[in-house]
A = this chain, B = another copy of it.
C-alpha cells in the first residue's frame, strides 16, 4: 500500500503544521475548507488516520471525546487545562519519567503518554476576577455541558411568570399564573436552575436571575 500525496492530503498536512495548536478533525476541516471549499470532512478524517498510521503526524486521544492531532513527531508530553480544555506541549526530559524500575507486568513497552492536568494561567486569572460573583450564584453547575440558550415553551412560560413576580415566589404561584400543574412547574424550575436562569434565595422560593432575564429577551 503506497501513499499518494494528493492536494487534499498536502493541504491537511500543511494546515496542521501551520497551526501550532492541537487541532481536532473538524477544526482542521474548517481551515482547509477556506482554501478547498469542496473538500469533504470524511477526507480529513481519513487522511488524519492515514498520516498517523504512517507516523507523519501524531494522534492524541486524551481529554474528552474528540481526537486531536499534532504535527510534531518528537517525543513530548502534554498539559491540559481542566477549565478551558486547552492542550499545550510540555517538554520533559527523559529523566523525569523513569520506568526502568517499574514492574510492567511483562509488557513490551513501546511508548508512554504523560498528561499533566491543571488550571492554565489565563483561567486562574479569570477565576480570581469572577470569584465574588460566582460565589453568590450557583456557579458550580454552570461549567457543565448544558446548552444554555435553548428554552422549551414551558420553561419560557415559567420564566416569564417569574419575571412578572416581584421578588421570590413559590412554585404554587407560578403554577397558578401559568396554568401548568405544580409538578410540571417543579420540573421546569429544576431545569432552569441547572441552566443558571433561576435561583432560590429562600428555601422553596424562586427568582429569575440576571442571566435568565437576558435569555428571555434574546
Contacts and interface: CB of A to CB of B under 8 A. Distances in A.
Interface of A: 1, 61-65, 79, 81-82, 88, 90-92, 95-99, 101-121, 124, 141
A102 B90 CA distance: 8
23 contacts: A1-B141, A61-B62, A62-B113, A65-B65, A82-B110, A90-B104, A92-B99, A95-B98, A96-B98, A96-B102, A97-B97, A97-B98, A97-B114, A104-B116, A106-B120, A107-B121, A108-B119, A109-B116, A109-B117, A110-B118, A111-B116, A111-B117, A114-B115
A83 to B, nearest CB: 10
Nearest to A65: B65
Contacts of A116: 99, 104, 107, 109, 111-113
A117 B59 CA distance: 14
A92 B81 contact: no
Contact of A99 (B96, B99, B111): B96
Given A61-B64, A107-B79, A118-B108, A102 B113 contact: no
Contacts of A62: 61-62, 113
Nearest to A64: B61
Query: 3 tightest CB-CB pairs across the interface, nearest first?
Result: A107-B118, A106-B121, A109-B118
Contact of A112 (B61, B117, B120): B117
A114 to B, nearest CB: 5
Given A91-B103, A105-B120, A111-B118, 6 more contacts: A62-B62, A79-B107, A96-B102, A105-B121, A107-B120, A109-B116
A73 to B, nearest CB: 16
Contacts of A98: 95-97
A1 B193 CA distance: 11
A107 B81 contact: yes
A23 to B, nearest CB: 18
A202 to B, nearest CB: 16
